[in-house]
Amino acid sequence: MSLRDQVNSAVKQAMKDKESQRLATLRLINAAIKDQDIASRGDGAEEGVGDAEILQILGKMTKQRRESVRAYEEGGRIDLAEREEAEIAIIEEFLPRQLSDDEVVEAIDKAIEETGADSIRDMGKIMGALKERYTGQMDFGAVGPLVKDKLCQG
């Protein structure tokens, strides 16, 4: 079952269960997917976006909400921060399991080895390989500095 189908069936279930908060978040996910579908039509794509793009959308939505949580907590708006946390939990249901720190380091080492990278100029190749294989499973904002450190050491 594709991610799009999983989200749609979750929407139907939330309607049946009358879970308004969950339904609202699921509808936000669907809206983001549809926005990307429309944007990709201009690129000549016949169908909508695939699972890889949906994972990127979900990752972006999660990142935005984490930033909002931080801002709300700093502003003393714990109620809004909790609502954002609840949305993150719902979005993360559709994301694959996050890699542990050790698994991330292992994935970086493997990507460096496979791409034959030996300098900081190869960072783009490594990041591309990691994004291709591990979209939704690691925070690429945190991975970038790790890759840079490894390349500078080697």
Token duo for residue 75: 């502003």
- Taking alpha carbons only, the member of 136, 133, 122 closest to residue 94 is 136
Long-range contacts, stretch 110-119, CB < 8 angstroms, 24+ apart: 112/147, 112/150, 112/151, 112/154, 117/151, 118/151, 118/154, 119/151
- All CATH 1.10.1510.10 domain ranges of the chain, comma separated, are 3-92
- All CATH 1.10.10.410 domain ranges of the chain, comma separated, are 101-153
**For 13-27, what is each residue's pLDDT tens digit?**
999 999 999 999 999
Domain 3-92 belongs to what architecture? Orthogonal Bundle (1.10)
Residues 6 or more apart whose CB falls under 8 angstroms from that of 6 comprise: 94
**For 19-58, what is each residue's pLDDT tens digit?**
999 999 999 999 999 998 888 876 665 677 888 888 889 9
Domain 101-153 belongs to what architecture? Orthogonal Bundle (1.10)
The model carries a pTM of 0.71
